[in-house]
Amino acid sequence: MNIRNIAIIAHVDHGKTTLVDRILHTTKVFRDNQDTGDLIMDNNDLERERGITIFSKNAAVTYEGVKINVIDTPGHSDFGGEVERVLKMADGVILLVDAFEGPMPQTRFVLQKALQLNLHPIVVINKVDKPNCRPEEVHDAVFELFFNLDATEEQLNFPTFYGSGKNGWFNDSLTPTDNILPLMDGILKYVPEPQVEEGTLQMQITSLDYSSFLGRIAVGKVTRGTIRENQPIALVQRDGSIRKSRVKELYVFEGMGKKKVAEVLAGDLCAVVGLEDFNIGDTIADAENPEGLPVISVDEPTMSMLFSINNSPFFGKDGKFVTSRHLRDRLMKETEKNLALRVEETDSADSFLVYGRGILHLGVLVETMRREGFEMTIGQPQVLVKQIDGKKCEPYETLVVDVPSDYSGKVIDLVTQRKGEMQVMESKGEIHHLEFDIPSRGLIGLRSQMLTNTAGEAVMAHRFREYKPWKGVIPGRINGVLISKNQSPTTAYSIDKLQDRGAFFVDPGEEVYIGQIIAEHIKPGDLVVNATEGKKLTNMRASGSDDSVRIVPKIQMTLEECMEYIQQDECIEVTPRHIRLRKIYLNEEDRRKYQKMQKVEGA
């Protein structure tokens, strides 16, 4: 049977998952009367809520007698580790670009990886139904990007399709049709069949799956030979060591699921059950004369965060898993399938240092764990510093901001304060396109400030670039916080009296404890306040004194916003039902001692 393996790559929110939906419907994977909803491949709750793809996924469809393995990849740079390895399974890529925004930083990053692997590209310019879209200009920008990335003559001669995934049409011209068949024909025409070499079995493990019945499942593409059920194999590991094993069961992808088979020929993607202690990048090879494939390299993490057990007075009220053993086992299990994540044990048995690609990458892990019933305390995200040629170096990122021209001055001012340097400034009609070189530290907390200063109009994206010399101190949060003095429910009477001191994170009647952060102060410096005092009742009444109090609703912050908000002496208590900000040292006396130590060390 003919096979085509194709990965869909694009910047976040350019329409990859919607395109996969259209392919699944066009190839009749579902019955006509079956209600499938939208974003079929984003089957994880977190993905649906946030509207982003987090994990790469496989589907297989049959069109005109040809089996097409479709790989949907994440578009956010924090999940770049997923994209880098799954591209190894593909022979061609569909590069999806928004007809208004054009190529974005993540587009450049994944396209570069695809071109280096010599994959055949098809460019799809999506959302041509949007107002102000400029498909011809975007096509020229894509060509320029290919040229800048040293594409070969053959790759520069890429086919282009235009359309709207939302409205369900793609064509090789700007004339709307009522289906995506021109694009499906283009996949068969322009994506080559897998290149199969002669020789014994070789299959690189590029992805992991997990089943509570079958255990860990190895997923990859058979590049050479044939793999059969019950076949003895050799597992060639990253360090060159070889371990003997046996294939218990074999599955190929079919529609949205998997189908059990007796053998898989070279060129097809498959899932292997029965192997133990394998890692991504290992090669499944012939038992008699094993040959390993080059190891997959994934970019290093750029950020770390301290995960500890929850030691607040409200410990154990919400969660099922609260001990350090639970926390350790869960983090170690995550490293098995999350390639860009690393976990290190610290001097304290209750704390673990977790390294990831960015705030969203680490935030998704914390959010997943709290939904599973974990309680924990997480510290302020820190960037990883390296010593290169005897100099202290930190990670730098390329930051791209598209903003209405009225606000461009505010954006430049904000980024410059955080040690960013402007590289590009172009105008696209009413919109200004700005590109900066900025230390990763400068991005922490930038998004919320940027949206506030541009009335929510700014669209920003960033990706890791390189390590460069340390840029000096970057100013953090200017305002201090209000800290609770007592452990008790808050009262409307107290909050009303304190409203002119700051903006509150708690509502009246909410339980708080000593050392919990309950509001943002209007001035620099922290203040300990009593928000739990009730009104003293007397038998005297004066006109106007009993007017109902008017409380401003509390500020609701997401987990990522909290991670960007906290300072070095603060942390976040995360439980299945609550996210609370608190000081690391709950006792005021301990906080003073800590501040004195910091001053001594700083001096």
Buried/exposed code over 146-161 (b: 16+ C-beta within 10 A; e: otherwise): beeeebeeebeebebb
Question: Does 206 count as an annotated binding residue?
Answer: no
pLDDT at residue 248 greater than cutoff 80: yes
Percent of all residues in the chain with a pLDDT value above 90, rounded to a whole number = 15
The Cα–Cα gap between 484 and 488 comes to 10
User: Encoding tokens for residue 589?
Assistant: 């006396």
Contacts of residue 252, defined as CB under 8 A and 6 or more positions apart, other chains included, come to 60, 258, 259, 261, 264, 268, 269, 270, 271
The Cα–Cα gap between 318 and 577 comes to 7
What pLDDT, on a 0 to 100 scale, did the predictor assign at position 574? 93
How deeply is 9 buried, as exposed, middle or buried, from its count of CB atoms within 10 A (0-12, 13-18, 19+)? Answer: buried
What pLDDT, on a 0 to 100 scale, did the predictor assign at position 335? 81
Question: Does 15 count as an annotated binding residue?
Answer: yes
| pLDDT band with cut points at 50, 70 and 90 for residue 376 | very high
User: What is the DSSP code (8-state) at residue 500?
Assistant: G
Overall average pLDDT of the 92-104 stretch? 85
Question: Does 17 count as an annotated binding residue?
Answer: yes
Question: Does 432 count as an annotated binding residue?
Answer: no
What pLDDT, on a 0 to 100 scale, did the predictor assign at position 540? 62
The Cα–Cα gap between 160 and 173 comes to 8
Contact between 139 and 158 (Cβ < 8 Å): no
Question: Does 142 count as an annotated binding residue?
Answer: no
User: Encoding tokens for residue 86?
Assistant: 């799954």
pTM: 0.77
Q: Which of 44, 62, 69, 52 is nearest to 17 (CA)?
A: 52
What pLDDT, on a 0 to 100 scale, did the predictor assign at position 275? 83
User: Encoding tokens for residue 81?
Assistant: 């580790």
The tens digit of pLDDT for each residue in 453-475 reads 888 888 887 777 888 998 888 87
What pLDDT, on a 0 to 100 scale, did the predictor assign at position 374? 92
Percent of all residues in the chain with a pLDDT value above 70, rounded to a whole number = 89
- CATH 3.40.50.720, domain 3-190, yes or no: no
Residue range 202-286 forms a domain whose CATH class is mainly beta
Contacts of residue 358, defined as CB under 8 A and 6 or more positions apart, other chains included, come to 77, 78, 302, 303, 440
The Cα–Cα gap between 222 and 207 comes to 13
The packing angle between helices 181-190 and 16-26, to 10°, is 100
The tens digit of pLDDT for each residue in 214-227 reads 777 888 888 888 88
| SS3 category, 225 | coil
Instruction: Check for a shared fold between 303-382 and 386-469.
Output: yes
The Cα–Cα gap between 600 and 591 comes to 14
What does each C-alpha distance from 317 to 72, 325, 514, 559, 582 come to in angstroms? 39, 18, 17, 20, 17
User: Domain limits of the chain?
Assistant: 3-190, 202-286, 303-382, 386-469, 481-537+547-556
DSSP per position, 507-526:
-TT-EE-TTBEEEEESSSS-
What pLDDT, on a 0 to 100 scale, did the predictor assign at position 29? 62
Q: The domain 303-382 belongs to what CATH superfamily?
A: Elongation Factor G (Translational Gtpase), domain 3 (3.30.70.870)
The tens digit of pLDDT for each residue in 470-495 reads 888 887 778 899 999 999 999 988 89
What pLDDT, on a 0 to 100 scale, did the predictor assign at position 283? 87
429 vs 327 pLDDT, higher one: 327
Strand order in the sheet with 242-246: 242-246, 232-236, 283-286, 202-211, 215-224, 269-273, 249-254, 257-261
Question: Does 223 count as an annotated binding residue?
Answer: no
The residue behind tokens 């009104």 is 535
Residue range 481-537+547-556 forms a domain whose CATH class is mainly beta
Residue range 386-469 forms a domain whose CATH class is alpha beta
Question: Does 491 count as an annotated binding residue?
Answer: no
Question: Does 166 count as an annotated binding residue?
Answer: no
